């Protein structure tokens, strides 16, 4: 039982129908025809009670109330796996993000990995694989005197398994990565030229600093397997193949893998070579991470007014709650594979992030993509980074550090050195409960649930749009969906009030504006950032290509672009 009266909780309401529809379709707990979550309050209560079970018995009531209050009003948005699965009887995980083990270069190893992947997806996890560990096509298989099939057929197997799970359960998402020096990299780059192949995969090439230097120098590039050069190509030719494919069809993405490893707070313990399905979470083999986002759009004081500002005290409080919530989620979650449980327990990686960033900027009157917006968002995320680390140090004082914590090595990291002095002092005194703390995830569905706020750190895609829905009577009708900032503005000033200059959409921005926002955010985020650089359809190839160079030079950990084209089509009709 909770120490507060459940009947005293104020009933929550949804600002727009789409938010309630998302809740009913994704997060409302209904089992065996019985509705368990009658209202969204019941969902928050279910999640709060469940995650509080990781606490000492005498603390559970108070912590459950703290968790509930943070979620109430859509201020703190746990990721979908937590909202849908926590406190239910379902055999699901509470982590959205996974990377599978390093794939052994054998039939048995491949199939064992596929089995573990299937079990992970069955429990709701999005997964990533590094296919660089598989021998290139044509390599002799000793003992059989036949050529190896190479990594791509193994990817086809994974894709088919994912297709089975999607068909049966409506879930399944995967990322495939490969090093840029693997002998099959050209086949990997072109793998989705057939639009029917590998449709359940996102794909990213792991680009090294040495490769970028070779591209700039127009130098040769060695493709190697087990330390031996298989063949030599021009680095520029590989680069052009990547660029033309993504220009034409938005894939593959690019991961700057050396930067990812160099800035990893746990770099002294692990090597990263893959990410989860949306690329915001680089993870080691068997790695996993629960996620939650602070909804900045709900935390602006005096929105659109002369004193509009983000409530930083509220932000700090909610970040602290999120750290505790996600640390608890590790303990109460189920995992498909024992190695995933071990990895989670030993490093206690979590991902506290943000959503509603663009809406918050609109409310304080700052145009997304400008230098002023970059400076402001950087300061917000610096506040969040410091709050997360302080909360983890305080948890460590009460619960102990994560088991593999090495104080000397961990505190040598540039990320720790950039923290405020008092936060560094707390870490020096208590250590850290969590090896990695911050991530900015895409938050597409949870952002719609939270009021249709702008997703993650992305700009607003469209102020409003129409969608077709099927009503309870079976009739199809048009439904107006408004971005939260626009909805609030109309509520406050009326339907005819002229919009401020801060109302800007993704289509209004230059690619360089997107890169600026990603780069300033990355400085204050441990892991990665889910961010798409929107490009106009008529962007010249040379300009498009330069976006990736800008991202590399600006300090981003990766780059993903979207350009409307016959393969991907357009995202939305407005």
Catalytic residue among 158, 162, 278, 535: 278
Find where tokens 């199809």 sit. 476
Q: Which residue has the tokens 């892991």?
A: 527
CA distance 330 to 342: 11
CA distance 73 to 446: 13
Residue 419's nearest CA partner among 524, 263, 321 is 524
**Tokens at residue 481, please?**
């969906």
> Which is the catalytic residue, given 264, 276, 328, 386?
276
Please name which of 415, 380, 373, 383 lies closest in space to residue 515, comparing C-alpha atoms: 373
Of 100, 104, 106, whose CA–CA distance to 161 is shortest?
100
Yes or no: say if 93 and 124 are a contact pair by the CB < 8 Å rule.
Answer: yes
**Is 408 one of the catalytic residues?**
no
- In 376-521 the beta strands, taken as DSSP E runs, fall at 464-470, 476-482
Residue 554 CB contacts under 8 Å (≥ 6 apart), including other chains: 515, 516, 518, 519
Strands 30-31 and 253-256: unpaired
Picking from 351, 353, 521, the residue whose alpha carbon sits closest to that of residue 436 is 351
Least Cα distance to 203 among 258, 148, 245, 259 occurs for: 245
CA distance 233 to 241: 12
- Torsion of Cα atoms, 180 then 183 then 189 then 195, to 10°: -150
Measuring CA to CA, how many Å separate 283 from each of 38, 344, 407, 487, 561?
37, 11, 21, 37, 22
Strand runs (DSSP E) across 25-125, as ranges?
30-31, 34-35, 76-78, 97-99
Per annotation, catalytic residue among 55, 251, 280, 458: 280
Q: Are 67 and 48 in contact (CB under 8 A)?
A: yes
DSSP category for residue 483: -
535 noted as active-site residue = no
Q: How far apart are CA 260 and CA 398, in angstroms?
A: 31
Q: How far apart are the first and last CA of the chain?
A: 47
DSSP per residue, 358-413: HHHHHHHT--TTSHHHHHHHHHHHHHHHHHHHHHHHHHHHHH---TT--HHHHHTS
Q: Name the residues annotated as catalytic.
A: 276, 278, 280
């Amino acid at each position: 039982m909770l120490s507060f009266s459940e009947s005293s909780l104020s009933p929550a309401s949804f600002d727009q129908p789409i938010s309630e529809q998302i809740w009913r379709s994704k997060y409302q707990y209904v089992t065996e025809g019985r509705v368990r979550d009658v209202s969204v309050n019941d969902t928050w209560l279910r999640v709060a009670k469940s995650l509080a079970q990781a606490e000492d018995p005498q603390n559970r009531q108070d912590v459950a109330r703290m968790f509930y209050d943070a979620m109430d009003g859509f201020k703190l948005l746990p990721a979908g796996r937590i909202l849908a699965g926590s406190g239910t009887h379902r055999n699901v995980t509470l982590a959205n993000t996974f990377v599978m083990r390093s794939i052994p270069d054998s039939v048995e190893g491949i199939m064992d990995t596929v089995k573990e992947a299937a079990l992970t997806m069955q429990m709701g996890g999005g997964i990533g694989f590094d296919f660089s560990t598989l021998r290139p096509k044509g390599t002799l298989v000793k003992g059989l005197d036949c050529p190896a099939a190479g990594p791509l057929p193994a990817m086809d197997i994974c894709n088919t398994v994912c297709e089975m799970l999607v068909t049966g359960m409506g879930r399944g998402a995967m990322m495939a990565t490969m090093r840029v020096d693997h002998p099959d990299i050209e086949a990997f780059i072109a793998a989705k030229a057939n639009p029917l192949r590998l449709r359940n995969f996102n794909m990213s090439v792991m680009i090294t600093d040495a490769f970028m230097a070779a591209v700039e120098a127009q130098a040769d590039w060695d493709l190697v397997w087990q330390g031996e050069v298989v063949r030599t190509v021009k680095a520029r030719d590989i680069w052009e193949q990547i660029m033309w494919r993504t220009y034409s069809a938005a894939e593959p993405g690019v991961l700057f893998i050396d930067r990812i490893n160099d800035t990893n707070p746990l770099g002294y313990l692990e090597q990263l070579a893959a990410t989860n399905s949306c690329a915001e979470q680089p993870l080691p083999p068997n790695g996993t991470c629960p996620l939650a986002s602070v909804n900045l759009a709900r935390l602006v004081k005096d929105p659109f007014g002369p004193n509009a500002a983000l409530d930083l005290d509220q932000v700090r409080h909610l970040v602290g709650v999120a750290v505790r919530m996600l640390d608890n989620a590790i303990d109460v979650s189920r995992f498909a594979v024992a190695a995933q449980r071990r990895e989670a327990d030993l490093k206690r990686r979590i991902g506290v992030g943000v959503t509603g960033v663009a809406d918050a900027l609109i409310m304080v009157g700052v145009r997304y993509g400008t230098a002023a917006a970059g400076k402001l968002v950087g300061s917000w995320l610096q506040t969040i980074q410091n709050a997360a680390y302080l909360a983890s140090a305080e948890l460590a004082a009460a619960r102990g550090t994560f088991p593999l914590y090495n104080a000397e090595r961990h505190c040598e990291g540039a990320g720790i050195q950039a923290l405020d002095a008092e936060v560094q002092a707390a870490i020096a005194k208590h250590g850290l409960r969590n090896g990695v703390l911050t991530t900015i995830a895409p938050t597409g569905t949870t952002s719609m649930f939270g009021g249709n706020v702008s997703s993650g750190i992305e700009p607003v895609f469209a102020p409003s749009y129409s969608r077709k829905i099927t009503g309870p009577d079976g009739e199809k009708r048009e439904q107006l969906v408004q971005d939260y900032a626009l909805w609030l503005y109309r509520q406050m000033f009326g339907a005819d009030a002229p919009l401020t200059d801060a109302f800007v959409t993704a289509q209004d921005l230059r690619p360089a504006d997107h890169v600026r926002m990603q780069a300033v955010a990355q400085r204050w985020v441990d892991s990665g950032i889910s961010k798409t650089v929107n490009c106009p359809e008529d962007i010249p190839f040379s300009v498009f290509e330069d976006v990736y160079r800008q991202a590399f030079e600006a300090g981003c950990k990766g780059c993903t672009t979207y350009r409307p084209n016959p393969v991907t089509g357009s995202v939305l009709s407005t």
